[in-house]
Amino acid sequence: MHVPDGFINAPTSAVAGVVAAGAVAVSLRGARRELDERTAPLAGLVAAFIFAVQMLNFPVAAGTSGHLLGGALAAILVGPYTGVLCVSVVLLMQGVLFADGGLTALGVNITVMAVVTTVVAYTVFRALVKVLPHSRRCVTVASFVAALLSVPAAALAFTLVYWIGGTTEVPIGKVATAMVGVHVLIGIGEAVITSLTVGAVLAVRPDLVHGARGLRQKLRLRVNGELVDAPDAEEERTAPVPAGASRRTLWVSGLVTSLVLAGFVSFYASASPDGLEKVAADKGIDAKAREHAAAGSPLADYGVKDVADARLSGGLAGVIGVGVTVVAGSAVFWAVRRRRTDDASPVSTGV
């Protein structure tokens, strides 16, 4: 659903840029409360994983494909504020390096794909986990539903932005119907990917899943006539050293998976236009689309310039993209965590 340059007029794009900048600023402050020494490395990995999986377009209808948006996945794994930052980092890397998503439309893309998906998904997720039984299976179910609803919500958000500042005259009802219809189907794919990923992390390190924190009820025992919390068997089994090793194993496994997906599996992704591209072509929304400012980039269109072999070119671009994203994301999240640490440090009075 990457919006290219020319779909939305300049004033609306500027307003969306202000909204996106404000959302990122709020998220930077909020992420200080979400990130710690355990989750900061995971957040950078989540951004890289979203980048990799977004390269895997899957068919959803005749001549149409879809790909992960990632807001729900990021919000549930590392928190809603950090989730907005994860998707924003991905969109920035894609726009600047790979000419995917217009630079003048970056504010629109962050607002629609990062902010709306994250807010909607996490709101739905939290509402569901409050009423469902406190179990890992229910967390996975809640992840599925939240991800499913976040995609058509993003489609409606784009439709609203287009209604306000679209550059072509297309009946908004037709745009809304077409966008929501195809993105409900894409949402099913989003839900499957999100729930499987959340379930996989829950199976090995449930303590690292932000959305699953506080869901487990402690067993209480009566000792000398008084109720006390029973020792947490799972915490007892997870000593500090093994926990660190497990985090490293999870991080390395996730990075390798991302590299394989982007560097190899992406070659077999659907070549059909995604939901927005298909609707834009069918309804004439793309009549005033402009060439991307970074169209001459060495990595434009997810290929390495001057590498003739398509498989090698795409694979190298994917690997570079994962590497750049994990470095950029990790730098942002470690800086946010460091700021949190600095804020929490006692201030010397000099007395």
Crossing angle (nearest 10°) for helices 240-263 and 172-204? 140
Residue where the block lists tokens 């927005």: 276
Average pLDDT, the chain: 89
Q: Domains of the chain (ranges plus CATH)?
A: 10-230+239-344 (1.10.1760.20)
pLDDT of 7 higher than 90:
yes
Per-residue pLDDT tens for 252-268?
Answer: 999 999 999 999 999 99
Q: Residue length, the chain?
A: 351
Residue 231 in this model has a pLDDT that exceeds 60 = no
Mean pLDDT over 77-103 rounds to 96
pLDDT tier for residue 246 given thresholds of 50, 70 and 90: confident
* pLDDT reported for residue 38: 80
Give the model's pLDDT for residue 255.
95
State the pTM of this model. 0.89
342/53: higher pLDDT: 53
- The b-or-e profile of 181-201 (16+ CB within 10 A means b, else e) is ebbbbbbbbbbebbbebbbeb
- pLDDT 10s digits, 149-195: 999 999 999 999 999 999 999 999 999 999 999 999 999 999 999 99
Tell me what the mean pLDDT of segment 315-319 comes to: 97
Hey, what are 64's tokens?
């149409």
Q: What is the CA radius of gyration of the chain?
A: 21
Tens of pLDDT, residue by residue over 302-313, are: 999 999 999 999
More confident residue, 219 or 25: 25
* pLDDT band per the 50, 70, 90 thresholds, residue 220: very low
Token reading at 228:
């006390």
d(CA 351, CA 259): 54
- CA distance linking residue 273 with residue 269, whole number of Å: 11
Give Cβ neighbours of residue 346 (< 8 Å, ≥ 6 apart).
Answer: none
Residue 41: pLDDT band with limits 50, 70, 90: confident
Contact 165, 8 (CB under 8 A): yes
Q: Which residue has the higher pLDDT, 215 or 234?
A: 215
The DSSP-derived string for 162-204 is: HHHHBSS---HHHHHHHHHHHHHHHHHHHHHHHHHHHHHHHHH
Q: Are 30 and 241 in contact (CB under 8 A)?
A: no
Q: What is the mean pLDDT of residues 96-121?
A: 97
